[in-house]
Amino acid sequence: MYFAVQALGGAAWWVGVFLVPGVREITIGSLHPVAVAVFDVPLFVVGSALAAGGIRWAAVVSAGWTVLVAVGLAIFATVTTEAGWGVVIMGAAAIGSGVAGCAVVLRRIPTQWVVRGPFAFRVADRRRADSSHVVLTFVQIAAFWGLFLAVIPLAIHFLEERWRVGVTEPHPALSAVAVPLGVAVLVFASALGIWSAVTMSTWGKGTPLPSAMPNHLVVAGPYRWVRNPMALAGIAQGVAVGLILSSWLVVVYALAGSLVWNLVVRPHEEADLESRFGDDFRRYRRAVRCWLPRFRDPDGNGVRPQEPVRRDSGNP
């Protein structure tokens, strides 16, 4: 279905390129449309149409070509400041083609790949002192926040400006609201993230990283009200940085990260918790929601928020 939509969208886009000068200007810039179409129409449009029929090699060709075009356009746009919207469109298509290609070729989305190697689930060494877990947690916070809340957003903002796809002249009233709001949300979300991390490291005898997971199921602190306060804090931080930078691409980056975490990482994390903590985790999952805070157990049968579970990490 995705490849069918992509084939129709690609065909409509090429009609627009040849008939509407504005479409050509913002998507391929000064590139010669015929020279690009000679390769893109058979590999992108026709390839996507064949992939829509379940032809595996066509899905590989279409997805591979889409990624190649996205990368090539990104380099071209960064050097010339042209075709910025083409990069945005083909970047989104590259992600969609990659996911759809896996579904066609592998008959599944291999989400388990994200929890391998350094990100495989491992329990922290319980022989370490509590203070060492806290120190390691803060080292992780500094590294991850520096990368995901500073380096990557600033790079995205730079490319957004370079590609000329940003908000060129935001209304003064909008900026006057967005920046203070972003700062307030960033401070609140950062406090929530630190509170969650410290709670996990002290109560759980571990760190937030999968490679050194807590030894105990943690339902203290903010975990009393929401199951994933650190993820909630991280998403809010990313959106806040986008507001501060007046960058819609940074906001999209943060929201896309929330989808990846919720649909790809969370199922594996919760399966691991269920295998290690059994009924304790199942009761906790029933009593406390993932995203929306719940301040009481609705049926009286779940884990009470004020009673952190300190079950051993081995299988029950």
**pLDDT score of 296:** 63
**pLDDT score of 292:** 86
The model's pLDDT over 269-315, given as tens digits with 9 standing for 90+, comes to 999 999 999 999 999 999 999 888 876 654 444 444 444 444 444 33
Rounded Cα distance between 19 and 192, Å, is 52
Distances (CA, A) of 54 to 98, 122, 142, 204: 15, 38, 45, 47
Cβ atoms of 177 and 96 within 8 Å: the answer is no
**pLDDT score of 307:** 46
**pLDDT score of 230:** 92
Domains and CATH numbers, the chain: 2-109 (no CATH), 120-287 (1.20.120.1630)
Could you tell me how many helices (H) and strands (E) the chain has, helices first?
A: 13, 0
Rounded Cα distance between 103 and 85, Å, is 27
In a 3-state reduction of DSSP, which class is residue 205?
coil
**pLDDT score of 169:** 66
In a 3-state reduction of DSSP, which class is residue 213?
strand
For the chain, list residues with pLDDT below 70.
129-130, 168-171, 173, 295-316
**pLDDT score of 134:** 84
Rounded Cα distance between 302 and 316, Å, is 18
What single-letter amino acid sits at 197?
Answer: A
The model's pLDDT over 49-70, given as tens digits with 9 standing for 90+, comes to 999 999 999 999 999 999 999 9
**pLDDT score of 129:** 66
